[in-house]
Amino acid sequence: IKPPASILFIFGGSGDLNQRKLAPALFNLFIDNWMPEKFAVIGLGRTEYSNDKFRNHLFDGIQEFSRRKGESNDKWAGFSEHVSYLQMDASDPEAYHKMSDVVKQYEEEWGVHANVIFYLAVAPQLVPDIATKLGALKWCKDSQTVRIVVEKPFGHDLKSARELNSLLNSIFTEDQIYRIDHYLGKETVQNILALRFANALFEPIWNRNYIDHIQITAAETVGVEDRGGYYEQSGALRDMVQNHILQLLCMIAMEAPVNFDANEIRNKKTDVLNAIRPISRDQVHEYAVRGQYSHGWMKGTKVQAYRQEKSVNPKSNTETFAAAKFFIDNWRWQGVPIYVRTGKFMHQKSTIISIEFKQAPHYAFPQEAADSFRPNRLTISIQPEMDIRLRFQAKRPGQSMTLNPVDMIFSYKDAYDGHEPEAYETLLLDVMEGNPTQFMRADQVEAGWKVVMPIIEAWEARPPVDFPNYAPDSWGPEDAEALIARDGHNWVSLP
């Protein structure tokens, strides 16, 4: 079923996010026949654009960034009829009445009461002001049809996230607020729930009795690119751990939901965040490692150090790599360490979750088979490879009893046609349908901040002495190896 008639206002309409992600996603939904019968996409911005020029600007983005790149261009004319541009200064309260006129006009034309979605693809400091001005429009109180989408970063720390939540909650009901974490829209991430809760096989062993430890790696091969200004205020912990990585952790560690109700799922995830053992500030050095890249070579190309990047302080202490060890204090996970790491300019682009099982309790095999015993491991590759691998021991063919580990692999590429929707497609459709399951509730965001605050505070209080401390095209600083080696483990080598 298609979503009901929808009017999407995109603040920051002429910006990067719209061109790279939102417009391609909406166009793909249109191609796949998921857009409502009646819809309008209205880009808002200060830049002057005619409708045609704006449409061309979005089309250029689609040619460059869409997963379909250049396919189905014959559908563009049909889609672009729904797209227009409204020049407005978002800081001028009067300008907001233009939006009321637009809504009225479409509703009259369509003869229905439409959904209205405000997508705030703007710098975070503009969010409070825009939200407040929207709140002054009486019709925005309609919690059934009016929704606001807020991009990350959601706050800069726990305090600012709380302030932003309380401001938004004073204007909109929680049901109207869609805080995006685009990782939750990824197919392979959503599949974690299917893997765990649609199969009888995994759940009985998904606990401290059988699982030795868990690893989550989100490695990128890009540096900060042209986002130095933003990244300086952020760093790897705020940019990736507080949100994306903790959300992956929630999917892996949550209890089984009773149903797919949005709050049921989010309650179960929030329980995980609330159960993460607080790290005391004086123990942070045992539990977390930070890094910053130096100049060097990345796949044969010379790259500059983080401190030399555009809009970055030449003495910057911002981390471009973070690793941490967490424990979840509940019955299921007591004593199971969870290691996470993320970094820019890593050796390989890969987001994977690896569940490391305990050794078999007893090996009855002859001595010569002994060297190759490996515990079972379930690896969930989120991206760019999309697969799930289960490692188990097999007998190597031959006359001796020699064991070696083998992989049983489920690959998206082989099983399906390889045209998975992108995260933004899924999430935009959810917003139009009014389904907040894959969006962050206020308490989830705050719980995420609570987890990382001690690390942030300890790092800020004690500037690093060894930055830059890792070379591009590596796996980050040596301390990250030591963090996990102290417990007798290694980071998994990526497939």
* 310 appears as a binding residue in the annotation: no
Q: In angstroms, give the least distance from the CB of 381 to ligand BG6.
A: 13
* 46 appears as a binding residue in the annotation: yes
* Phi, psi (rounded to 5 degrees) for 13: -60, -30
Closest listed residue to residue 195, CA positions, set 379, 6, 10: 379
User: Active site residue: 244, 285, 347, 362, which one?
Assistant: 244
Residue 309 binding ligand BG6, by CB under 6 A = no
Binding mask 103-142 for ligand BG6 (x = CB under 6 A): ----------------------------------------
Residue 151 binding ligand BG6, by CB under 6 A = no
Task: Give dist(CA 295, CA 318) in Å, integer.
Answer: 15
Q: Which of 212, 239, 356, 473 binds ligand BG6 (CB under 6 A)?
A: 239
- Integer angstrom CA distances of residue 17 from 45, 61, 250, 305, 422: 13, 10, 26, 26, 14
Residue 319 binding ligand BG6, by CB under 6 A = no
* 349 appears as a binding residue in the annotation: yes
> Does residue 57 carry a catalytic annotation?
no
Which CB sits closer to ligand BG6, 220 or 430? 220
| 50 Cβ neighbours under 8 A, 6+ residues apart | 85
Q: In angstroms, give the least distance from the CB of 182 to ligand BG6.
A: 6
Which CB sits closer to ligand BG6, 220 or 473? 220
Which CB sits closer to ligand BG6, 60 or 226? 226
Looking only at residues 204 through 223 of this chain, which bind ligand BG6 when binding is defined by CB under 6 A? 220
Residue 425 binding ligand BG6, by CB under 6 A = no
Residue number of the CB closest to ligand BG6 reads 239
Q: In angstroms, give the least distance from the CB of 462 to ligand BG6.
A: 24
Q: Which residues are catalytic?
A: 244
Known binding-site residues for NADP(+) equal 46, 152
Known binding-site residues for substrate equal 182, 186, 220, 239, 344, 349
Interface ranges with ligand BG6 (CB under 6 A): 152, 220, 239
